[in-house]
Structure 1
Amino acid sequence: MTNRHQKYEVLDGLRGIAAISVMVMHFLQDLSVPVLQSAYLSVDIFFILSGFILTHSYGDKLHHALGIGQYLKMRLVRLYPMICIGLVIGAISLCAMKLDGAAAFSVGNFVSAVGENFLLLPYLGDMSVGSFIRTSAHGVPTLGNAGNFPLNPPEWSLFFEMFASLLFVAAIRFDRRSLLKAAYASLALFVVYGMMIGINEGKLTIIVNQGWRADNFVGGFFRVTYGFLIGVAIRKMLDSDGAPHAYWMSGRLIRSARALFVAFLLITLFPTSIKGLYPLAILVFVAPMLIFQGAKLRPGGALSARACSFVGWLSYPLYCVHYPVGRLVFTYLPNSEQHIVGAAALACGLSIAAAAVLAKCVEEPVRRYLMKRFAGAASRSAAPPVRAA
Structure 2
Amino acid sequence: MKKTTFATLDGLRGLAAVAVFTRHVPSRAWAWWLPGSYLAVDLFFMISGFVLAHAYGERLNRDLSTGRFMLARFIRLWPMYILGTLAVLFVHIAGTPAGQPVAWHGLVPSALFGLFMLPTPPAVSGVTSPFPLNGPAWSLFWELTISIVFAVLGPRMRAGRLALVVAVGAGLLVATAGTFGSLDSGFDWSNFLGGGGRVVFTFFAGVAIYRVQQARPSRGVPAWIWAIVLGAVFAGHVAPAWRAIYDVAMVVAVFPTIVYMGACREPQGWLRWLALALGKISYPLYVIQVALISGASLACARLFGIEFSALSHVGTFGLLAFGMMLALVLARFYDEPVRAWLTRRSKLGTRSVRAAEAAAP
TM-score (norm 1): 0.83
Q: Deviations over 1:42-82 (max 9, x none)?
A: 00000000000001011111142322222121111111111
Residue in structure 1 matched with residue 272 of structure 2 by the alignment: 305
| Alignment root-mean-square deviation, CA | 2.7
Residue in structure 1 matched with residue 170 of structure 2 by the alignment: 187
TM-superposed CA distance for 1:239, in Å, is 2.7
Superposition pairs of residues 1-389 of structure 1, within 5 angstroms? 4-31=2-29, 34-99=32-97, 106-125=103-122, 147-172=129-154, 173-196=156-179, 198=180, 206-241=181-216, 255-272=221-238, 274-299=242-267, 301-333=268-300, 334=304, 335=306, 336-377=308-349, 379-380=350-351, 384-385=355-356, 387-389=358-360
Structure 1: how far apart are the matches of 2:177 and 2:82? 31
Structure 2: how far apart are the matches of 1:303 and 1:32? 28
Structure 1: how far apart are the matches of 2:101 and 2:24? 20
**2:199 is matched by which residue type in structure 1?**
V
Q: Is the contact between residue 104 and residue 127 of structure 1 (CA under 8 Å) also seen in structure 2?
A: no
**2:237 is matched by which residue type in structure 1?**
P
TM-superposed CA distance for 1:117, in Å, is 1.4
Q: Is the contact between residue 120 and residue 131 of structure 2 (CA under 8 Å) also seen in structure 1?
A: yes
TM-superposed CA distance for 1:170, in Å, is 2.9
Q: Is the contact between residue 23 and residue 31 of structure 2 (CA under 8 Å) also seen in structure 1?
A: no
Structure 2: how far apart are the matches of 1:323 and 1:381? 30
Structure 2: how far apart are the matches of 1:9 and 1:374? 29
More helix by share: 2
TM-superposed CA distance for 1:127, in Å, is 9.4
Structure 1: how far apart are the matches of 2:321 and 2:44? 22
Q: Deviations over 1:184-228 (max 9, x none)?
A: 2123133324434x4xxxxxxx33112111011112112111111
TM-superposed CA distance for 1:29, in Å, is 4.6
Gaps of 5+ in 1: 130-144, 199-205
Structure 1: how far apart are the matches of 2:291 and 2:39? 21
Q: Taking structure 1 as reference, are residues 34 and 302 closer, same or farther at Cα in structure 2, changes over 3 Å only?
A: same
**1:291 is matched by which residue type in structure 2?**
V
Q: Deviations over 1:106-157 (max 9, x none)?
A: 421111211111221112317999xxxxxxxxxxxxxxx6621121111111
TM-score (norm 2): 0.89
Residue in structure 2 matched with residue 134 of structure 1 by the alignment: none
**2:104 is matched by which residue type in structure 1?**
V
TM-superposed CA distance for 1:91, in Å, is 0.9
| Structure 1 range deviating more: 262-271 or 349-358 | 349-358
Q: Is the contact between residue 8 and residue 386 of structure 1 (CA under 8 Å) also seen in structure 2?
A: no
Structure 2: how far apart are the matches of 1:174 and 1:96? 50
TM-superposed CA distance for 1:280, in Å, is 0.9
**2:111 is matched by which residue type in structure 1?**
V
Structure 2: how far apart are the matches of 1:269 and 1:276? 15
Q: Taking structure 1 as reference, are residues 33 and 293 closer, same or farther at Cα in structure 2, changes over 3 Å only?
A: closer
**2:290 is matched by which residue type in structure 1?**
Y
Q: Secondary structure at the match of 2:64?
A: coil
Q: Is the contact between residue 76 and residue 356 of structure 2 (CA under 8 Å) also seen in structure 1?
A: no
Q: Is the contact between residue 41 and residue 268 of structure 1 (CA under 8 Å) also seen in structure 2?
A: yes
**2:310 is matched by which residue type in structure 1?**
Q
Q: Secondary structure at the match of 2:183?
A: coil
TM-superposed CA distance for 1:32, in Å, is 8.7
Gaps of 5+ in 2: none
Structure 2: how far apart are the matches of 1:104 and 1:260? 50
